Every structure is written in structure tokens, then in C-alpha cells.
Amino acid sequence: MTCSAVVPAAGRGQRLGGREKPLLPLAGRPALAWVLEALSASGVIAEIIVVASEANREAVESLCTALGLSLPVQVVIGGAERALSVRAGVEHVPDDRRYVLIHDAARPLVTPELVRRAIAAALRHGAAVAAIPVTDTIKQVASDGRVVTTPERSTLVAAQTPQVFRLDWLREAYRRAGAQWVTATDEAMLLERAGFPVYVFPGDPENLKLTTPLDVTIAELILERRMRGNA
């Protein structure tokens, strides 16, 4: 196993009333617990680096201890923005790891199978991003609301996490970006800007991100369905 996992878990959801997404209860457990157990169960991760905030660090550490996972888990402190937290986590990845997987704690429906597919894709390409086809027609609009263009839907995908990269590529992408690395909305964008090839692999429509109260409701329903299926 040559891949470390970095899990940014420092964010608060403004559309969730400022609640901490990693600790949101879902089907009786914190969202972060579902993520960590999926990563551990995948069997392809060497260790997990959870990036917490100063405010939730104690709760995150207690959760990690209580889960009793079979692989090492380290909790480090991140920043106010997601990009800062991911960078903090990447800096703690051992230098002898060849790959790093990044997965948001706000996507608690990740499965071990999706993690395995992510790493398999990265082994083929060096950089791989989970993505699903866009089903809506997308409009690019100007600041005044005027439609500028309608991109061809068949060429569009919605990016998810996990995203897996060669560790040396990601660190070089940070170096080439200079101070602009903080503006990237995901790490794949950093590699794209640096000229590294980034490929997508099939994500999972159920791998939703907790952004609104509706997302929380849907996530709970999916998790409850999964638990009934495993009973």
C-alpha cells in the first residue's frame, strides 16, 4: 500500500447553519465516521491524515480513537479554507508514499469500492478524479444574468472526491502555482494548471456532498437503506 489518505474535516457549512459537517449525525453516527470506515475497509490505504480545526480537534480525535480502525490515523490542524487544510494534510504525508488520496469529510457516502477504483485509476494515469455525467443543461452567464454560451453537455462532468495523485506531482504543482495555489477549488485544478495530465473515472451518483439540509436528509435515507441491505 503506497497511498496515504488526506481527509479535510475542518469546515463549517454556512447553508447548514454553521454546523460542522464532519460531526453532523447521519443515521446515528457522525459523517466523518462513515468516511473513515470506508477508507479503512478499502484495504488500499496505508494511513489516514484527518485535517481538523482548532474548534473540533478534540471531538475529531475522540471519534478516531473510538472507531478503533485497523490503520494509523493522525489528526492535524488545517486552515480557514479547504485548500489550506488539504495542503496541511499533504505536508504530513510520508515522503515514501507514492500516491495521496484526498476525500472530503463532507462526502460521507463514499464506499470502499469507490476508493479502490480511485487508486486503480491513479495507478494507470498518475492523477485521477471521481466524476459523474452532468444531466442538466448548463448555461454560462455574465454578471448581469445574460446567457453567454451553452456548453455541450456531453463534454461536461461533475467532479467529486476521492481524487488521487502521485505525491511528487501534487507537490510540484504546489511549487509551480506559487501563491496562487490557494485559489484552486480542488487539487486537480492545481495539477491541470501545472501541466500534468488529469483523468476522470466513474464516480457514484450517491456520493453526494453535504451542502444543504436536503443533502443531509437524502444522505441519511441512503445510509439507512444500505444498513438494511447489510442486515
Write out pLDDT tens, residues 82-134: 999 999 999 999 999 999 999 999 999 999 999 999 999 999 999 999 999 99
State the Cα–Cα distance between residues 30 and 203, nearest whole angstrom: 23
DSSP state of 212: S
- Listed in sequence order, the residues at least 6 apart from 150 whose beta carbon sits closer than 8 Å to its beta carbon are 137, 138, 139, 140
pTM of the model: 0.94
- Listed in sequence order, the residues at least 6 apart from 109 whose beta carbon sits closer than 8 Å to its beta carbon are 34, 204, 206, 207, 208, 219, 222, 223
- Three-state secondary structure along 162-194? EEEEEHHHHHHHHHHHHHHHHHCCCHHHHHHHH
Q: Which residues of the chain have pLDDT under 70?
A: 1, 12-15, 17-18, 231
Please give the helix or strand (H or E) that residue 100 lies within, else none.
strand 99-102
Mean per-residue pLDDT over the chain, rounded: 94
